Structure 1
């Protein structure tokens, strides 16, 4: 019983430590939470995608991706392109004298666009594959089968707790951050974060 609990807590702690870092997925969820626009949908999709990646890593897919130069390059360049494009759109919004848009605002993203963007940030994100599939998968592989299942469950629980907390917290703070200057600053920071992540990915590959 104690080894199982230990594996679960390790999975939760390591999973939380990896996911809390500011990244593209978290930045997008934060932005949607502040807009109060389809927050629950984004939280659910982020959690499901992360859970799927964690389980893929636990069954050994992470080592396959890490050992294939072609798959690694596809992940890096595809993810960087997505981040550059979306970061540019966010920076463009930062130049507009706008207020915080809610779900009924005319320029709010459609449900389909929200789903597409969330899946992109969750799946076309090399950092997610590196942290979730390769790293967590490698750690899970060190445990016996029963403990590996509990470790994986702990990591999935950490993702769910974080995404729910981030989405709810951002929505709660949205009235305070609804001023145009503050919102433009948020868009500026998020856009720069996305471009920085993309630049780091390309730099690491000698682009």
Structure 2
């Protein structure tokens, strides 16, 4: 049982840690110290739900519905493009470099953005439902659920560390230039992901 859990943890961590729009958003909210707990709960909770669906054997349904993934792909690309433009504008306009310059964001807006970043990314379904779910099926009996549990723990560990650990980097981001670099990086990552979704 333990080897399956450990395998799930390491596999899940390797998929989650990759730089992406969701991680960039969690990092930015952590640096702002703004609604970090809801963001972490949304990200980890979504992963737990999708991994559970995959372990239950529904990964094949997602893989067999290319039309659904196509819709999610285009919607996700459009949403990421909007976020990329927003990050680029913040980087180009000095008055928006201070994280407090725009005033505190509403919790509902932050949570909705986080949900969109999570569920409008077709890769999240391929990684969690299809890939992790498929790997879990290779473990006999309860081993599949142990594998899934390991992946969920990896998600919780990563998003908690990223969200709340970002505060330790706050002294570095006391300078506007650091925020500018971060926003340029976020813009590039989100624009790159949007393009990658469009080109398939």
TMscore range, shorter length: over 0.9
Aligned to 1:75, the other structure's residue is in SS state: helix
Conserved in 1, the CA contact under 8 Å of 2:91 and 2:97?
no
User: Structure 2 matches for 1:1-207, cutoff 5 A?
Assistant: 4-97=1-94, 98-102=96-100, 106-204=102-200
CA distance, structure 1, for counterparts of residue 13 and residue 147 of structure 2: 12
TM-score when normalising by structure 1:
0.91
* Corresponding pairs, count: 199
Q: CA offsets, 1:27-73, max 9 Å, x none?
A: 10011111111111111111101111111111122221111121121
TM-score when normalising by structure 2:
0.94
Conserved in 2, the CA contact under 8 Å of 1:11 and 1:151?
yes
Q: CA offsets, 1:83-131, max 9 Å, x none?
A: 11112112111112144425xx543321111010011111111121111
CA distance, structure 2, for counterparts of residue 110 and residue 175 of structure 1: 24
CA distance, structure 2, for counterparts of residue 183 and residue 129 of structure 1: 31
Conserved in 2, the CA contact under 8 Å of 1:24 and 1:121?
yes
Conserved in 1, the CA contact under 8 Å of 2:172 and 2:178?
no
CA distance, structure 1, for counterparts of residue 75 and residue 102 of structure 2: 30
Q: Hey, which of these two has a bigger chunk of helix by percent?
A: 2
CA distance, structure 1, for counterparts of residue 175 and residue 127 of structure 2: 35
CA distance, structure 2, for counterparts of residue 26 and residue 145 of structure 1: 33
CA distance, structure 2, for counterparts of residue 61 and residue 96 of structure 1: 46
Aligned structure 1 segments of 4 or more residues deviating by more than 2 angstroms: 105-108
The alignment's C-alpha RMSD in Å is 1.3
